[in-house]
Every structure is written in structure tokens, then in C-alpha cells.
Amino acid sequence: MKRLLSVPSVCFLVICMYGTAVAKHDSQLRKVVDECKDELNLPKDLTLPEMIEKHEDQMGCYAGCLLRKQKVIVDGKFIIEEFEKKTLSSAEQEVKDKYIECVDTANKETGECEIATAFFECINKNYELFAKILKVFDH
């Protein structure tokens, strides 16, 4: 069964992993993004909206690559401590409990594309959680 990441899930990835303001100026992030685009044979100048429109079938693999390069996916497993360090260290316990459930769901999959897709699909199914996570980054 083919699973695609939704636009909100992709935005969640971008916001959580890098933050909107930092992403444009972080040369390390730019390097990681370029490396993932190279791995997936995507044009380096491809924007996120273009990727969503023209390469939606590769969003799970793109997210998986970004997570692997940030050491959130290691040896085919989603590492919750790394994700927490990079994103939600100040989130409420309720939010943490739900995203731990999503990590457990993701870790039942094999391959970074499938792991990333399963995680973000779980987050997307729990829209209230998604909204709370985004509020964490408004501070």
C-alpha cells in the first residue's frame, strides 16, 4: 500500500527539525538538505512547494533522509531521545506521550522512508497533538 505524507506533516517536519527562522541561514542544514536531494536524485533548487506538487511520492524518503542525517533515525529505528532533544524538550507530557506512541508505531516499519512516513501519518491523524506541537514553537 502506497502512503504519502500530507502537506501538514511535511510542514511539521520542517518546523520541528529546523525552525522557520533558522532554516534559511543554517549552512549545516543546507548541506543536509542538498545531500538528501542528491540521494533522491532531486534538483538542488527544488523548493518544498515544488517537491510537494511534483515529487509527493518521495516525501517519506526525503523526511527519512533528513531524520537519518540528524541522527533521529539510526539503524532503521526512530530514536526518541534525539527527536526530543531537537524538538520537543519543553512540550507537555500529554504531547510527549502521544508522540512516543507515534514513534512506537513508526518503529514497527522497516526502512527510513516507511519509518518517517508512519511517524508523520500518526502525527497527522492526531491533529490536536499536531496543533499543540506547533504551539511549542511559537514561544
Per-residue pLDDT tens over the stretch 59-115: 888 888 888 888 888 999 988 888 777 665 555 667 778 878 889 999 999 999 999
Q: What is the pLDDT of residue 21?
A: 32
Rounded to an integer, the average pLDDT of 108-126 is 88
Whether 79 contacts 115, CB under 8 Å: no
Q: What are phi and psi of 72, to 5 degrees?
A: -90, -30
Q: Is the distance from CB of 72 to CB of 25 less than 8 angstroms? A: no
Q: Are 26 and 4 in contact (CB under 8 A)?
A: no
Mean pLDDT in residue range 114-122: 89
Read off the pLDDT of residues 8-59 as tens digits, 9 standing for 90 and up: 555 555 544 444 334 444 677 778 888 999 999 999 888 777 877 788 788 8
Secondary structure of residue 4 in the 3-state scheme = coil
In angstroms, the CA 67 to CA 124 distance is 17
Q: What is the pLDDT of residue 114?
A: 92
Tell me which DSSP letter residue 58 carries.
Answer: G
**What's the predicted TM-score (pTM) here?**
0.60
- Burial (0-12, 13-18, 19+ Cβ within 10 Å), 86: middle
Q: Are 54 and 99 a contacting pair, CB within 8 Å?
A: no
